[in-house]
Structure 1
Amino acid sequence: MVVVSTAAPSYKRHRYPSEIIDHCVWLYFRFTLSFRDVEEVMLQRGVVVSYETIRRWCAKFGQDYANQLRRRRARPGDKWHLDEVFVKINGKQHYLWRAVDQDGTVLDVLVQSRRNAPAAKRFFRKLLKGLGYVPRVLVTDKLGSYQVAHREMMPSVEHRRSRYLNNRAELSHQPTRQRERAMHGFKSPAHAQLFLSAFGVICSHFRPRRHRLPAGEYRQVMADRFAVWRESTGSATAA
């Protein structure tokens, strides 16, 4: 049995309090803001911090916060929606593979240069390793690569292939497209993977299906999610 640590991130040798660090990281990953935008927001609140420092905080703590959120969340659903879209990186076409469950929770992402059968199998392996269980249903479009990967790696799982059943996965790409435009593209495949793996988890954590929740219930859900965020970043302990 593997014991997963939920220890809070360490802020040793950082002169700013953890609350300021995690707030800057939250602003950057939750909203369509640049590092300079976050710098301006913090300045309006009386906190003087450079955009370069904010960039370093996001690079250092973004994935760590996302990992902590992933460990604390309830087990995702048993119906996985998979889809891939192209992204331009330094003028070259790459593919962003994404999986979400039936509630829209981002399960994982992977940036690859191909969308063939080996790429699909690589994504399946990443999903299965990270989640530790197989779904009841797998929903994809009619890309043949999914069929090969499903047959070799999850033959017992029901596989539904239809472009009309996969709106859940297709809609999950919209926040990424917004950030891609705001950032004027990604610098490299490694940069895209680093940002999107943190962004997917943090952004979806703060985006419950609001249209299905009454106002009071929505506020309570968000209060609970902010409490989990404070636990994940260590701010609750520091306070």
Structure 2
Amino acid sequence: MSPPTCVIPSVWKQQPDRAMLLVLPSSCVCNEVLMGKDEYFQSFRVNADNFICTLLPGISNHPQIQYSPGGLLFKVGNSNMQHVTSLSFLLLAYSNYLSHANVRVPCGTSSASPVQLRRVAKRQVDYILGDNPLRMSYMVGYGARYPLRIHHRGSSLPSVAAHPARIGCKAGATYYASAAPNPNLLVGAVVGGPSNTSDAFPDARAVFQQSEPTTYINAPLLGLLAYFSAHPNLAQSDLLHD
């Protein structure tokens, strides 16, 4: 059965290429773009392919990101894990589009398969969950070792049970400066992680660029975890295919 065709609202044709990667249903992307059935969208496909190529280690001559010795995707700026999770989500989404269309990403004189994109995304998830030089999970409460002093007021202040009296806005400085672990575990929160290509992490509240958890880090990660949880045998299969 051939994939269904789709009608694409004209307003979507004005969106940036990276946004289109996520907005369009996979059947639309595969049928109308990747399989060359909509000439207007060929420029989108070229731009999307070029962008994806810049994320793949050893593929692009003009990479937009770097990789640490431990394998972490790194982009200059605060809270690096936001780039790790969002770009990994894009790689995984595009790998599925490519698989449905049975095509590869052309990257100059070489090309990349859907499996290669998926491997990069999976490697980032593994790094976040503890497969890294520090053997530290960057998800609070997951694994034997994880951040203990995250930059989060509710996590670093004592609970109402332990401190019934009111804590004023400026009264939290003592807890902020404390070297003690946070008394309240914010289970599932993912922090900013290593801020450079050395795989180092200070685990200090004051270094908010690395120790602050955010919703825009966790949100893309949920999609990645859901996918790999639903496809537990993909990792072994990807080792055997390219």
The structure number with the bigger radius of gyration is: 2
1 or 2, which has the higher helix percentage? Answer: 1
Greater relative contact order structure (CA < 8 Å, 6+ sep): 1
Would the TM-score normalized by the shorter structure come out above 0.5? no
Q: What TM-score, normalized by structure 2, do the two folds share?
A: 0.24
1 or 2, which has the higher strand percentage? Answer: 1
Q: What TM-score, normalized by structure 1, do the two folds share?
A: 0.24
